[in-house]
Structure 1
Amino acid sequence: MALFAACVVLAGGNAVAVRFSNRELDPLWGAALRFGAASLVLLAVMALQRRELPRGRALAGAVLFGVLNFGVTFALAYYALVRIHAGLGQTLLSLVPLATLLLAVAQRLERFRLLAGIGTLCATAGVAVVSRAPFQGSVPTLSLLAMLGSVVSFAESIVLVRKLPKVHPVTMNAIGMTAAAVLLFAGSAAAGDTWKLPERAATWWALAYVVVAGSVLTFVLYLMVIQRWGASRAAYLFVCVPVVTILLSARLDDEPLTASLLLGTPLILLGVYLGALRRGDAEQRGRPPGR
C-alpha cells in the first residue's frame, strides 16, 4: 500500500510539472529533454546491475514499446497540455485501462465482457461532460484530440507488451526511453523548436521532477506494485492519479474546479472501474468467464 500510494502521488504531479515546463520550453523539446535525461539514468542503472541488452525480436519489441509508450504518447500529451489544464488531461488519461481492455478484445487477446460495454458508455458520458469546454471555445478541439490520441497510444503499448518476449523492466524502460528520446529530438528539430535550457527556476524544478520522480521513480514503483499485486489491482493507479492531479493543479496552477469537471470525473472513473478493473466472480475464483 505504501508503494502504491507513493506511485499515485508521484504520477499525480507529472501533468502539473509538464504544464510548468511548457510555459518556457517548446513541448517536443521539453519531452525530449525529459526522456533523454531519464534514459541516461536508467542506462546507468543497467550498467551498475550489469544487465545485458536484449537481441533480435526482444530488442525490436523494446524499441517499438518505447516509441509508442514514451514517444508518441508523450509527444501528444505535451502538445495537449499547452492549452488544457493538468486536471482535465490526467482525467482523460484515466481512460487508459478501459482503452487497453477494448484494444485487447479487438486484437483477440481477451474476450469481450458486458461490463466493458457498460463501462465504455459510462466513461464516454463522463468525457462528454468534461469536454463540453472545447465546443464553448475555452479548450481547443485539437488539444482534446491529442490527449485522447495519447490515451490510445499508451493503451496499445500495454497490449503490445503482452505479445513481446519478456525483458527486465529496467532494461525495457531504458531501451524504450532511449528510442523515444531519439524520436522526440528528431521531431523537435523538424518542428523548428528552440533548443535552449530553462532560465526560470520553476522550469528547472519541473524538469527535475518529471525526470527523477515522474519517469524513473514512478515506473520503478509501478513495476514493483505489479510484481506484488498483479496488473489488474495495480491498474487502480490510473483511477487514483487524476484526483491527486486535480488537487495539485488547483493549488499550484490555479485550475478552476468547475461543475463540468466535478460531474464528469466520477462518471469517467466509474466507467474505468466497471470496464477494466472490476472482475466477475468466475474470474476472481481463477476460472475464465463462461466455464
Structure 2
Amino acid sequence: MTRRPDRIVLVAFAVLVLFAGSNAIGVRFVLREMGPYWSAAIRFAIAGLILVLAMVATGRRVPRGRQLVGTLLFGVLGFGLAYTFLYEALINAPAGTTMLTLAIVPLLTVLLAAVQGIERFRLMGLVGAVIAAAGIVVVGADELSLNVPMLSLLLLLAAAVCQAESGIVVKRFPPGDPVAANGIGMLLGAAMLAVVALLTGERVEVPTRPETWLAMAYLIGPGSIAVFVLVLYVLARWTASATSYAFLLFPLVAVVFGAILLREPIRPSFLLGGAIVLAGVYIGAVRRPAAPAEAPTGEPAPA
C-alpha cells in the first residue's frame, strides 16, 4: 500500500467520486416507481451476477480464508446493513440532515482506524474531516432540520458507522481481486436487502417505465460495478481514512448533476460550502506528511 497516491490512484478516486456522486440522481428516478429496498436488491443482484460471471469467464480466483472473511464483511457492512439503515432513516430524515450525518464517515474512519490499529492517528486527518464536514453543513443548511426522530438519527449514524467500518475491514482482511470480492459481496448484500423488502411489505415488481430502466442501467453499470471495483482498487493503494473522504464529495457531484439534468438551482451556499469541503479533503487526504500513516509492521495491530 502506498502512502502517497500516484496519479492513477487519484484518477481512479476522481472517477469513483463522479460515478457515485451521480448515483443520487439515478436513485431518485428509480424510487418514483419502485420501493427502496427492492430496487437496491435488484441493482446489486444484477451487478453482482455480472461480476461473478466475469470472475468465472476470466478465471479469477475465488476468495478463500482471510480474503473470504474480508469479502463477506464488506458485503454485509457496505451493501446489506448500510443501505438498510440508510433507506429506513430516509423515511423521516430530510436530505440536509442525511447529508450532514453521512459527512461524518471520514471522521469515524479516522477514529475507528486508529482504535483498531489499522492506521496511526493523524491530527491533520481529523482536522480535514471536521473542516470538510463543516462545508457540508453550509451546502445543506437550507434543508437541515433538527426536528428528526431519534430513531432516524440513530439509523443514519449506524449507516455511517457501517460505511466507515466497511473500508477498515478491507484493510484488515484484504479481499483480493476486486471483481470477485464485489461480485460475492453484492450478491450477499442483495439477498439481505431482498429479505428486508419482503419483511417491510414492499411491492416486488419489475419496473415498466423506460426512464426507470435507464436509471437502473446506470446504477448497475457505472454506479455499482465501476464504483465498487474502484473502491477496492483505491483502498488497496491508499489509506481507509483518505479513501473515505469520497463521502464528502458525493453531495457536491449530486448538486452539479441535479442542476444539469433536473435544472435545479445552484445556491451561493453551495459554492462556499463546496470550497470548504475541497479544502478539508486536501488537508485531510491529499496533503500527506512525511511519516507513514500505516502501522509500522505493515500488519494490522491487535484490536
- TM beyond 0.5: yes
Q: CA deviation at 1:276?
A: 3.7
Distance (whole Å) between structure 2 residues aligned to residue 117 and residue 4 of structure 1 = 20
Q: How does 1:61-76 map to 2 (within 5 A)?
A: 61-76=70-85
- Which range is displaced more, 215-224 or 166-175? 215-224
Asked if residue 172 in structure 1 is aligned to residue 172 in structure 2, the reply is no
Maintained 8 Å contact 1:17/1:206: yes
Maintained 8 Å contact 1:22/1:78: no
Maintained 8 Å contact 2:38/2:194: yes
Which residue of 1 is the match for residue 301 of structure 2? none
- Which range is displaced more, 176-185 or 248-257? 248-257
Which residue of 2 is the match for residue 198 of structure 1? 207
Aligned equivalent of 2:67, options 58, 69, 75:
58
- Which range is displaced more, 195-204 or 108-117? 108-117
Which residue of 1 is the match for residue 3 of structure 2? none
Q: CA deviation at 1:158?
A: 0.6
Q: CA deviation at 1:146?
A: 4.8
Q: CA deviation at 1:114?
A: 2.2
Count of residue pairs the alignment pairs up? 284
Runs of 5+ consecutive residues of structure 1 not aligned to the other structure: none
Which residue of 1 is the match for residue 276 of structure 2? 267
Q: Residues 10, 122 of structure 1: CA spacing in aligned structure 2 closer, same or farther, 3 A cutoff?
A: closer
* Amino acid aligned to 2:164: A
With normalisation by structure 1, the TM-score equals 0.80
- Which range is displaced more, 229-238 or 50-59? 229-238
Q: Residue 281 of structure 1 aligns to a residue in which SS? A: coil
Q: Residue 73 of structure 1 aligns to a residue in which SS? A: helix
Q: CA deviation at 1:157?
A: 0.6
Distance (whole Å) between structure 2 residues aligned to residue 4 and residue 117 of structure 1 = 20
Asked if residue 9 in structure 1 is aligned to residue 34 in structure 2, the reply is no
- Which range is displaced more, 54-63 or 43-52? 54-63
Which residue of 1 is the match for residue 110 of structure 2? 101
* Amino acid aligned to 1:210: L
* Amino acid aligned to 2:143: A
* Amino acid aligned to 2:114: V
- Which range is displaced more, 108-117 or 184-193? 108-117
Runs of 5+ consecutive residues of structure 2 not aligned to the other structure: 1-7, 297-303
1:94-152 per-residue CA deviation (whole Å, 9 max, x = no partner) reads 65444322210122322222213323432443344435634377x88876765554332
Asked if residue 21 in structure 1 is aligned to residue 30 in structure 2, the reply is yes
Which residue of 2 is the match for residue 213 of structure 1? 222
Q: Residue 119 of structure 2 aligns to a residue in which SS? A: coil
Q: CA deviation at 1:275?
A: 3.0
Q: Residue 153 of structure 1 aligns to a residue in which SS? A: helix
Q: Residues 77, 280 of structure 1: CA spacing in aligned structure 2 closer, same or farther, 3 A cutoff?
A: same
Maintained 8 Å contact 1:98/1:275: no
Distance (whole Å) between structure 1 residues aligned to residue 286 and residue 239 of structure 2 = 10
Distance (whole Å) between structure 2 residues aligned to residue 132 and residue 28 of structure 1 = 28
Which residue of 1 is the match for residue 287 of structure 2? 278
Q: Residues 234, 135 of structure 1: CA spacing in aligned structure 2 closer, same or farther, 3 A cutoff?
A: closer
Q: Residues 248, 91 of structure 1: CA spacing in aligned structure 2 closer, same or farther, 3 A cutoff?
A: farther
Q: How does 1:88-237 map to 2 (within 5 A)?
A: 95-129=104-138, 130-131=140-141, 133-135=143-145, 146-224=155-233, 230-231=238-239, 237=246
Distance (whole Å) between structure 1 residues aligned to residue 265 and residue 41 of structure 2 = 30
Q: Residue 202 of structure 2 aligns to a residue in which SS? A: coil
- Which range is displaced more, 240-249 or 264-273? 264-273
* Amino acid aligned to 2:177: H
- Determine which structure has the larger helix proportion and give its number: 1
* Amino acid aligned to 1:54: P
* Amino acid aligned to 2:145: F
* Amino acid aligned to 2:192: L
Which residue of 1 is the match for residue 39 of structure 2? 30
Aligned equivalent of 1:45, options 54, 70, 73:
54
With normalisation by structure 2, the TM-score equals 0.77
Percent of residue pairs bearing the same amino acid type: 41
